[in-house]
């Protein structure tokens, strides 16, 4: 795939969406471009191979030009997470070659790692901004994202190698999926069938941080995405990311980033 023309991966639209109400979109006659979508929180339903399929956190969905498209998101119930996702509509000769280079599942569940989410953030940030060589930057970031997703879908990224590490990753995935909700260490331990003390020890041993620390980082990351990419108020961004007290969120945010949420949003413009 080397030697392709400049801007062989063209971003038509890219963004980060948060749905706290019912949403529906469809194009049953077929999309005009490729669509890559990563569910980061909550659930959605999408049309895949003529079936409406439940999509959860960590699910990446791939559509090719001509594929019929349906996206349905139910209004979240009390105590359930909102639905959030990154998406990119794209086309280009490099993408044509990448798509045809191998058979990929139309849906795959991947780890929401820092590298995965970081590439998405960079793509959306550059697409929404105005900068020199914007199209070229988007081109290379999108190529990097596509190649990274190939590795992630094969499970090469942070793969657990033992039964114990597999359980630790199950706990991490559970925390990621429910980060926007009220969640307890007891609930995580119950999910994987361990005692609280064993679950706490295993998580710390595997990831070198406590569940509470990981959950705190995850919620801050979610809030940053919503402040940066959505039109939510700061209070809405904090609450939907799992912070039930805005004053606590404010103190934590300022301590972590050295600025207030208001300053952070202003710097992102």
Q: Which residue has the higher pLDDT, 111 or 68?
A: 68
Res. 5: pLDDT tops 50: no
Q: What's the pLDDT at 177?
A: 80
CB burial of residue 88 (10 Å; 0-12, 13-18, 19+): buried
Same fold for the domain at 10-153 and the one at 163-268?
Answer: no
**Domain-wise residue ranges, the chain:** 10-153, 163-268
pLDDT confidence tier of residue 173, bands split at 50, 70 and 90: confident
Q: What's the pLDDT at 1?
A: 43
As a CATH number, domain 10-153 is 2.60.120.280
Q: What's the pLDDT at 114?
A: 84
pLDDT confidence tier of residue 34, bands split at 50, 70 and 90: very high
pLDDT confidence tier of residue 161, bands split at 50, 70 and 90: low
Average pLDDT of the residues in 127-155? 90
Q: What mean pLDDT is reported for the chain?
A: 90
Res. 163: pLDDT tops 90: no
Q: What is the DSSP letter of 42?
A: S
CB 32 within 8 A of CB 112: no
Task: Report the percentage of the chain scoring pLDDT > 70.
Answer: 93
CATH 3.40.50.720 fits 163-268, yes or no: no
Q: What is the DSSP letter of 208?
A: S
Q: What's the pLDDT at 80?
A: 67
52-95: pLDDT as tens digits:
999 998 999 999 999 999 999 998 776 667 899 999 999 999 99
Task: List the beta strands (DSSP E) in 160-240.
Answer: none
Res. 117: pLDDT tops 80: yes
pLDDT confidence tier of residue 247, bands split at 50, 70 and 90: very high
Give strand pairing partners of 59. Answer: 109
This model's pTM is above 0.85 = no
Q: In what order do the strands lie in the sheet with 69-73?
A: 23-27, 69-73, 44-48, 51-55
């Amino acid at each position: 795939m080397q030697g392709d023309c400049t801007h062989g991966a063209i971003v038509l639209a890219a963004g980060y969406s948060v749905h706290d109400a019912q949403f529906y979109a469809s194009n049953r006659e077929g999309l005009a471009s490729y669509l890559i979508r990563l569910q980061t929180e909550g659930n959605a339903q999408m049309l895949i191979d003529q079936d409406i399929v439940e999509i959860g956190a960590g699910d990446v969905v791939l559509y090719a030009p001509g594929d019929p498209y349906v996206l349905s998101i139910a209004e979240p119930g009390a105590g359930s997470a909102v639905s959030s996702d990154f998406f990119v509509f794209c086309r280009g000769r490099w993408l044509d070659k990448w798509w045809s280079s191998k058979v990929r599942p139309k849906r795959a569940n991947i780890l929401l790692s820092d590298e995965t989410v970081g590439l998405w953030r960079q793509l959306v940030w550059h697409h929404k901004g105005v900068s020199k060589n914007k199209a070229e930057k988007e081109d290379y970031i999108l190529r990097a994202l596509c190649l990274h997703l190939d590795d992630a879908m094969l499970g090469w990224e942070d793969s657990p190698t033992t039964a114990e590490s597999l359980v630790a990753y199950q706990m991490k995935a559970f925390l990621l999926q429910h980060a926007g909700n009220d969640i307890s260490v007891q609930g995580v331990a119950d999910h994987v069938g361990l005692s609280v003390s064993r679950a706490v020890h295993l998580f710390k041993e595997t990831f070198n941080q406590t569940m509470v620390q990981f959950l705190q980082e995850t919620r801050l990351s979610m809030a940053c995405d919503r402040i940066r990419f959505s039109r939510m108020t700061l209070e809405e961004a904090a609450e939907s990311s799992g912070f039930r007290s805005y004053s606590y969120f404010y103190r934590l945010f300022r301590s972590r980033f050295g600025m207030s949420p208001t300053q952070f949003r202003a710097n992102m413009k």
